[in-house]
Structure 1
Amino acid sequence: MNRLFALLLLSTLATARAASPHPNIIVILADDMGIGEVSHNGGKAPTPHIDRLAAEGMRFTDAHTSSSVCTPTRYALLTGRYNWRSPLKNGVLGGTSPCLITHGETILPKMLETPGYRSMVVGKWHLGLGWSKLAEPAKAESGPTKGAGWQIDFTRRVTGGPCDLGFDEDFLFPASLDMAPYVYLRDDKVIELPTITNHFHPNRHGPAVKGMEPEQCLGDFAREARAFIGREARNSDPFFLYLPLTSPHTPISPSKEWQGKSSIGKYGDFLMETDWVVGEVLAELDKNGVSENTLLIFTSDNGCSPAAGIPNLEKKGHFPCGKLRGHKADIYEGGHRVPFLVRWPERVDAGTTSDRTLCQTDIFATVADATGAKPVESTAPDSFSFLPTLEGET
């Protein structure tokens, strides 16, 4: 009798483990975080929340971006297409650049509309926006008028932004945090108009919101991400959150609360604050009881940037790109081999590791398989599902 009960219990647990057809999906994309930055890979700045993902999910040791710089990687991740298929053949976009993704391309949230997902992007966009232009460039209300962006009409909604491409909501910074304009957008509309010239990079002056500082951004993104998860967890529909952070990319700007926390200086402090954002997401999932059926992916857009001061970090025992040759913006593995963690308690065994080679383009097909979405055949031609690997198939 006891044996029969045990078998029935195991059967019930197995059924429950595979019972949820539409998991929530979260993709957290760090900015310029090398494979050796996280403490479970030997990094000297504590990253307990990212380490928790590794302990409670699957760690991929041979994961790659399709490029070693920002914009191309983001294009590839959202479309499932190698970045060379886009019109951008080298470099990255700026904060005032036009849209890179066209209406004819299906991105992740658009694919997820059919199975009924609500979606939001919070953080760094860096894929171009359709800004409206003024007949004559504006001038700063006080101080000098310098840099790119003063020809933009910030009172008008942008076109070709996340909401036009398939996201239901957005809260975003237009590009890298060191690129003007220094403004936030919500649902493709600038929240507060820029009135001064500022710069978060010595050579990138431009329109800025008065009082906006880079140190506030991670806190703002964490708050918006938690709010979205909290709202959607109360609804019956599944949700998709794309959370591309602005850290640890320059400007290296940990908030006051995190300054002096690490043993390797300001950059280490910034890594720790980046990890804190991951912890905020996990806390909100736990708070709302939706952790078990949430497929959460954590990765980075490329390897560590030389701007972080790699030689100095290595002297302190912190090797941002591990033992790999190269770094951000070059062809070697240190530029495109990145952390890649997947946590999905209902379906992925805790503490597992895979040496399967994958590219971030593969996220698209994997999410499609996990959710039952059926994209048209021509969509995401460079994406191959790793769901069987997540489920333990060899």
Structure 2
Amino acid sequence: MFILADDMGYGDMSHTGGKAATPHCDWLAAEGMRFTDAHTSSSVCTPTRYGILTGRYNWRSTLKKGVLSGFKPPLIKEHRLTVADYLKNQGYKTAMIGKWHLGIGWQNLPKGKKVSPRKNLVDHPKAKPGIGKGWNVDFTKPIIGPASFGFDSFWGVGASLDMPPYVYLENDRVLGTPDICNSFNRRPGPATEDFDASLSLIKLAQKSRQFIAQQSADKPFFLYLPLTSPHTPVSPSKKWQGKSSIGPYGDFLMETDWVVGEVLSELQHQGLSENTMVIFTADNGCSPDADIDDLQSKGHFPNAPWRGAKSDIFEGGHRVPFIVRWPAQIKAGSLSDSTICTTDFFATAADATGALSEIPANTAEDSFSFLSELTASGKTQRLTTIHHSSSGYFAIRKGDWKLVLCAHSGGRGFPHIDRDKEAIKDLPLIQLYNMKDDPKEEHNLHDKNPETVHKLITILTKEIKDGRITNGPVQANDGYPPFESDIIERFPELNFTKK
């Protein structure tokens, strides 16, 4: 079981210093292994989700920066094997319940046809104009979604709860036909009238418990549970409103933790806890939209001591909570400081089923098994980790060293590439940090360690060109990642467009 929180920082849980009570995540950590140096492959969600399901770095896909909207086509190519496909081939029953955000294949109405909303419920002051003109998607037709990428069943939403269309999906169909225009933030679009963002977690918990209750101890299953929280809209249900001391965001964290408790309780009730691997992590760090300054003024540091937040190349953008519980195999209360990445789930799941060697050469190219960490029989074979920001900037980590290939945050944080030009103009082109001595990334050592910079650039170049970081034959990227001219001028080997 893979539970993925949405925009949840390393410091958001009470066992890592958070001020909102998260007893079920704390319980999970107490009974399993907690990784202190776990990273997402990107500092935003669509790319990270791609990496989790494919075991491949997101920037190797056609999406070189940013995220998909709710109407974009699938990012995963039809021929690419996902971890759900792989486990299904191993005899697992596979299900996804929650937020997809990897693109949906919608069918459109005949050219020139549009559906006009019968009601407009949009009242957000920042809502985009022109919302009442209707849409040309035929919501009565089947979709291409999770059920097309290895999942036997799917129930959930196509993208974030603040991205249209505001509908629930089941397998390859929309539940209900959207006929109104609504918005749960500043993005208006088609919606069904019964769609309520504040009820999302309740529904996901119910559907997850129902799925688990249908399983048996002699039939393996895989449940992928990507939650919709605590991403915006920060909308805890009525039961959880006012429960924390730090405001609605804290309430939402507590409700997120409640969902974890619900699925753990159902596993226990069905006698499935002992031999079920449960992973809990997040798709990136806490978002600036959570008003991090306000949370910190209340003693809650959502991204712990790390610099930056969601979208950034700094640690706060991609260092996330990562807990694994598997009572039959993992010693309770274990701690690992090994560097792992969310792309490693594919290989780890294959290893746990005894089928690691059967992964094809063109599959899970950036995935290393950390099963030996879990069972205390060895260490992960991951030597390097490539980080990627929302705006497409790169960093590479090897051991204690992290090389950042930009002078700014790479995302929405300070220094911002456009907003903080005065600050950036006096900064070096690249950043090099010793993460052991300087975990807050405060002291740029690039000028004192040119050999280290050169070694990391050489490794990065090879790992991009090879189309993989695992051993095996060279694979093709879906286009090379673009580097800015000043970086190419300094490191010409990163000019992959040169003939």
Q: With the length of structure 2 as denominator, give the TM-score of the two structures.
A: 0.72
What is the CA deviation profile of residues 312-337 of structure 1, one whole-angstrom value per residue up to 9, with x for unaligned ones? 00000000000000000011000000
Q: Work out whether 1:138 is the aligned partner of 2:115.
A: yes
**Which residue matches 1:212?**
195
Amino acid at match of 1:78: L
1:147 Cα shift? 6.8
> Residue 179 of structure 1 corresponds to which residue in structure 2?
163
Paired with 2:17 and 2:282, the residues of 1 have a C-alpha distance of 17
Correspondence for 2:54 among 62, 73, 79: 79
- In the other structure, the counterpart of 1:223 is 206
Partner of 2:243: 261
| SS of match in other structure, 1:294 | coil
| Per-residue Cα deviation, 1:132-155 (whole angstroms, up to 9, x for no partner) | 001212111234882798211000
Matched residue type, 2:202 = G
State how far apart, in whole Å, the 2-side matches of 1:251 and 1:148 are.
24
Residue matched to 1:7: none
Structure 1 vs Structure 2 CA RMSD: 1.3
Asked whether 1:336 is paired with 2:314, we answer no
Where does residue 103 of structure 2 map in the other structure? 128
Q: Which has the higher contact order (CA 8 A, sep 6+)?
A: 1
* Distance in 1, Cα, partners of 2:222 & 2:88: 10
Question: Does the C-alpha gap of structure 1 residues 344 and 208 become closer, same or farther in structure 2, counting only changes over 3 Å?
Answer: same
Measured in 2, the distance between the counterparts of 1:355 and 1:392 equals 13
Paired letter, 2:177:
L
Question: What is residue 388 of structure 2 aligned with on the other side?
Answer: none
Residue 275 in 1 paired to residue 257 in 2? Answer: yes
- What CA deviation, in whole Å up to 9, does each residue of 1:76-95 have, x standing for no partner? 00000000111001100001
Question: In the aligned structure 2, how far is the partner of 1:232 from the partner of 1:179?
Answer: 33
Q: Give unpaired runs (5+ residues) of structure 1.
A: 1-25
Task: Specify the code of the residue in structure 1 equivalent to 2:184.
Answer: F
**Which residue of 1 is the match for residue 135 of structure 2?**
150
Residue-by-residue CA offset, 1:10-68 (whole Å, 9 max, x unaligned): xxxxxxxxxxxxxxxx0000000000001100000000000111000000000000000
Letter in 1 for 2:165: P
- For the residue of structure 2 that corresponds to 1:163, the secondary structure is helix
1:56 aligns with 2:39: no
**More moved, 374-383 vs 135-144:** 135-144
Kept after mapping to 2: 8 A contact 1:326/1:334: yes
**Residue type of the partner of 2:150?**
G
Question: Are positions 1:42 and 2:17 aligned together?
Answer: yes
The answer for the alignment partner of 2:271 in structure 1 is 289
Residue 359 of structure 1 pairs with residue 341 of structure 2: yes
What is the distance in 1 between the residues matched to 2:364 and 2:182? 39
> What is the Cα deviation at residue 378 of structure 1?
2.2
User: Taking every aligned residue pair, what percent have the same amino acid on both sides?
Assistant: 59
Cα shift at 1:372: 2.1
| Aligned equivalents of 2:347, 2:151: Cα separation in 1 | 18
- Distance of 1:219 and 1:188 partners within structure 2: 22
Please list the CA deviations of residues 249-297 of structure 1 after superposition, one character each: whole Å capped at 9, or x if unmatched: 0000000000010000110000000000000000000000000010000
Distance 1:391 1:377 in 2: 26
Tell me, yes or no, if structure 1 residue 108 matches structure 2 residue 83.
Answer: yes
1:380/1:238 CA distance change after superposition, 3 Å: same
Aligned partner of 1:11 in structure 2 is: none
Q: Deviations over 1:334-370 (max 9, x none)?
A: 0000000000000000000000000000011000000
Of 200, 207, 226, the residue aligned with 1:244 is 226
CA distance in 1, matches of 2:100, 2:231: 14
Query: Residues of 1 paired with 2:250 and 2:120: CA distance?
Result: 34
What is the rounded CA distance, in whole Å, between the counterparts of 1:215 and 1:191 in structure 2?
A: 18
2:151 pairs with one of 158, 167, 174: 167
Does the alignment pair 1:326 with 2:308?
yes
Residue 12 of structure 1 corresponds to none
Distance 2:62 2:206 in 1: 34
Give the TM-score of the pair, scaled to structure 1. Answer: 0.91
Q: Secondary structure at the match of 1:123?
A: strand
Q: 1:200 aligns with which of 163, 180, 184?
A: 184
CA distance in 2, matches of 1:377, 1:48: 41
Aligned length: 366
Q: Name the aligned partner's letter for residue 151 of structure 1.
A: N
Q: Which runs of 5+ in 2 are unaligned?
A: 122-129, 379-499
Amino acid aligned to 1:127: L
The residue type paired with residue 248 of structure 1 is: P
